[in-house]
C-alpha cells in the first residue's frame, strides 16, 4: 500500500458523497451539512452523519486495497464533495511497527507511527479535512490555538489552499513548532498562558476579525480526518481491531474519531461487534479525563496549573470531554495518567531497544502500556496498539559530548 493520493480533475470531477446531516453530539439535534457550522446551539461538537447503507454499496474492501495509500483513499467515508477541494501534501498510510523486544511476554505490541505524515504529526489528518471543508464552504481566514503540531498542520494545509491563518500558542511551545508555523505561512503569536487561554483569544477574536475558529472539536470536520486512523488501522489488521488502543489524550479528537470509525465500519458490515479497549493516556500533571473517569463523571472540570513535558496532552479542559469518556467506558477501557519521568524513560527505552524515536506523547502511551500490564489492567497476551502522534525529531534529545582528536593517537580499545 505504498504511494499517496493524487487526484486528476480531468478524470474525477466529483467525490461520491453520502453525508446526510450534522448532529449535535449531546442533544441529537440535526443540522444541514452544506452550511458553515461551529459548535451546536448547546455548545457541543457536531458530528457528521452518513447514509451508510448507500455507502456500503458504493465501495468494496478490494476497491480500497487497490487505491494508493493515504487517508484520501477513504473518500466515501469523508464529507468533501468536490475533488478540486482536496488539499494534499502527499499523505501516506502510516506504518504499524511491531515492538518485538518490548512487548509483554505472549503479547503483540504495535506502534502506529503518525510521525510519517506531512508536517510530521497526526494533526495532518484533521487539519487537511478542516481546510478542505473550509475551502468547499468558501471560508478564507482560519484561526486556532495550538500546543504546536496542530498549528503547523493548519498553516501548511491552509497555505497550500491559499488561505490566511492566525495561530496562538503558549509561551513554552517547542521552538521548532513556532518556527514551522510561521515559515509555512501562518501568523503565529506566543501567549503567556495555556492552550485554553489561547482558545479564549481565538473565540473572542471571531467577531472583530472575521476569522473561522478551527479549535479542536469546535468545527465538525477535524474529527472526520482523525477518524481515518481507525479506518486505516482496521484495514491494516485485515478488517479487524486490536484488543486495546493506547491513545495520548488532550482534546481527544482521535480517540473520538476512531470510535466513530469502528461504529461506521460495523454498520456497513466490514467489521463485527468486537471493539478494542480504548485507553485515554494523560500525564499526572494534566489529567482531567483520568480524574473524571475515576470519579464516574461525564464531564471533566478545568485542571488547574497544568504542566507536563508532553505538551500535546497538556489540555486543561476539553470541549469533547463527554465523548472521550463515553468511548472509553463503552469500550471497557480506562483512563490512565503517567509521570513525566516515566515518559522520559519510555522515550529512551523505545529508542535504544527498538530504534524508534517517539515524541513525548507517544512515549506516554508506552509508559501507560507497561504500567497497565504490571497492574493487570490489560492482559500480557493482548494485541495492543500505541499511537505515536508525531516524529520525535521535533523534540529535545540528549546532548552527546564524546569527541576524538584526529591529530592524536586513538585508543581503539576504549571505544
Whether residue 221 has pLDDT greater than 60: yes
pLDDT given at position 1: 34
Mean pLDDT for 223-243 is: 98
Whether residue 6 has pLDDT greater than 80: no
Q: How far apart are CA 213 and CA 228, in angstroms?
A: 22
CA-closest candidate to residue 173, choices 200, 146, 153, 152: 146
Mean pLDDT for 163-190 is: 95
Measured in whole angstroms, the distance separating CA 163 from the mean position of its chain's CA atoms is 22
Q: Coil, strand, or helix at residue 20? A: strand
What is the chain's mean pLDDT, rounded? 94
Whether residue 11 has pLDDT greater than 70: no
CA-closest candidate to residue 42, choices 299, 265, 365, 401: 299
Q: How far apart are CA 313 and CA 280, in angstroms?
A: 10
Percent of the chain with pLDDT over 70: 97
Give the chain's length: 415
Low-confidence winner among 6-10, 121-125, 288-292, 369-373 (lowest mean pLDDT): 6-10
Strand partners, 8: none
Percent of the chain with pLDDT over 90: 94
**CA distances (Å), origin 201, targets 13, 143, 174, 208:** 39, 10, 20, 11
pLDDT given at position 10: 39
Measured in whole angstroms, the distance separating CA 111 from the mean position of its chain's CA atoms is 14
Q: How far apart are CA 143 and CA 157, in angstroms?
A: 13
Is the CATH number 3.30.565.10 carried by domain 96-117+221-394?
Answer: no
Topology of domain 123-213, CATH: Rossmann fold (3.40.50)
Whether residue 9 has pLDDT greater than 70: no
Q: What is the pLDDT of residues 293-329, one digit of tens each?
A: 999 999 999 999 999 999 999 999 999 999 999 999 9
Instruction: Give the CA count within 13 Å in the CB-facing half-sphere of 377.
Output: 19
Q: How far apart are CA 329 and CA 203, in angstroms?
A: 31
pLDDT given at position 16: 87
pLDDT given at position 111: 98
Q: What is the pLDDT of residues 34-90, one digit of tens each?
A: 899 999 999 999 999 999 999 999 999 999 999 988 999 999 999 999 999 999 999
At residue 186 the predicted structure's pLDDT band, cuts being 50, 70 and 90, is very high
Q: Does the pTM exceed 0.85? A: yes
Q: How far apart are CA 273 and CA 266, in angstroms?
A: 7
pLDDT given at position 7: 47
Return all residues near 396 (Cβ < 8 A) that are at least 6 apart: none
Q: How far apart are CA 44 and CA 29, in angstroms?
A: 11
Instruction: Give the CA count within 13 Å in the CB-facing half-sphere of 136.
Output: 23
Mean pLDDT for 174-190 is: 95
Q: How far apart are CA 287 and CA 308, in angstroms?
A: 10
CA-closest candidate to residue 237, choices 222, 258, 267: 258
Q: Quick one: cell of 412? A: 581503539
**Pairing mode, strands 108-113 and 96-98:** antiparallel
Q: CA geometry: angle at 379 spanning 373 and 381, to 5°? A: 110
Measured in whole angstroms, the distance separating CA 282 from the mean position of its chain's CA atoms is 14
For the CA atoms of the chain, what is the radius of gyration?
21
Q: How far apart are CA 377 and CA 370, in angstroms?
A: 10
Q: Quick one: cell of 198? A: 489561547
Mean pLDDT for 380-385 is: 97
pLDDT given at position 81: 94
Mean pLDDT for 14-24 is: 93
Mean pLDDT for 229-240 is: 98
pLDDT given at position 2: 37
pLDDT given at position 15: 83
Amino acid at each position: 500500500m505504498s504511494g499517496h493520493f493524487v487526484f486528476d480533475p480531468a478524470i474525477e470531477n466529483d467525490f461520491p458523497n453520502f453525508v446526510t446531516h450534522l448532529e449535535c453530539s449531546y442533544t441529537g439535534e440535526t443540522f444541514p451539512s452544506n452550511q458553515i457550522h461551529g459548535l451546536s446551539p448547546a455548545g457541543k461538537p457536531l458530528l457528521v452523519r452518513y447514509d451508510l447503507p448507500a455507502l456500503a454499496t458504493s465501495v468494496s474492501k478490494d476497491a480500497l486495497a487497490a487505491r494508493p495509500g493515504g487517508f484520501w483513499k477513504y473518500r466515501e467515508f469523508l464529507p468533501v464533495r468536490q475533488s478540486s477541494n482536496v488539499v494534499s501534501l502527499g499523505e501516506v498510510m502510516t506504518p504499524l511497527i511491531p515492538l518485538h523486544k518490548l512487548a509483554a511476554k505472549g503479547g503483540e505490541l504495535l506502534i502506529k507511527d503518525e510521525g510519517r505524515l506531512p508536517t510530521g504529526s497526526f494533526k495532518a489528518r484533521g487539519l487537511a479535512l478542516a481546510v478542505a471543508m473550509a475551502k468547499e464552504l468558501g471560508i478564507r481566514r482560519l484561526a486556532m490555538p495550538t500546543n504546536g503540531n496542530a498549528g503547523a498542520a493548519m498553516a501548511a494545509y491552509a497555505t497550500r489552499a491559499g488561505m490566511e491563518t492566525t495561530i496562538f500558542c503558549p509561551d513554552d511551545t517547542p521552538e521548532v513548532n513556532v518556527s514551522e508555523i510561521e515559515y509555512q505561512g501562518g501568523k503565529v503569536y506566543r501567549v503567556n498562558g495555556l492552550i485554553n487561554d489561547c482558545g479564549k483569544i481565538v473565540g473572542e477574536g471571531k467577531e472583530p476579525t472575521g476569522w473561522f475558529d478551527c479549535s479542536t472539536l469546535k468545527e465538525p470536520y477535524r474529527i472526520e480526518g482523525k477518524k481515518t486512523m481507525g479506518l486505516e488501522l482496521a484495514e491494516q489488521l485485515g478488517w479487524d481491531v486490536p484488543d486495546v488502543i493506547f491513545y495520548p489524550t488532550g482534546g481527544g479528537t482521535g480517540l473520538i474519531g476512531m470510535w466513530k470509525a469502528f461504529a461506521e465500519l460495523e454498520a456497513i458490515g466490514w467489521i463485527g461487534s468486537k471493539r478494542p479497549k480504548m485507553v485515554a493516556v494523560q500525564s499526572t500533571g494534566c489529567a482531567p479525563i483520568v480524574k473524571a473517569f475515576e470519579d464516574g463523571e461525564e464531564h471533566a472540570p478545568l485542571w488547574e496549573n497544568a504542566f507536563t513535558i508532553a505538551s500535546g496532552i497538556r489540555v486543561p479542559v476539553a470541549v469533547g470531554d463527554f465523548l472521550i469518556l463515553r468511548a472509553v467506558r463503552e469500550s471497557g477501557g480506562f483512563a490512565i495518567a503517567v509521570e513525566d519521568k516515566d515518559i522520559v524513560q519510555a522515550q529512551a527505552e523505545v529508542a535504544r531497544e527498538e530504534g524508534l524515536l517517539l515524541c513525548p506523547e507517544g512515549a506516554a502511551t508506552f509508559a501507560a502500556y507497561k504500567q497497565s500490564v504490571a497492574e493487570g489492567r490489560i492482559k500480557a497476551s493482548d494485541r495492543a496498539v500505541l499511537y505515536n502522534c508525531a516524529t520525535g525529531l521535533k523534540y529535545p534529545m540528549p546532548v552527546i559530548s564524546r569527541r576524538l582528536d584526529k591529530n592524536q593517537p586513538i585508543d581503539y580499545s576504549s571505544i
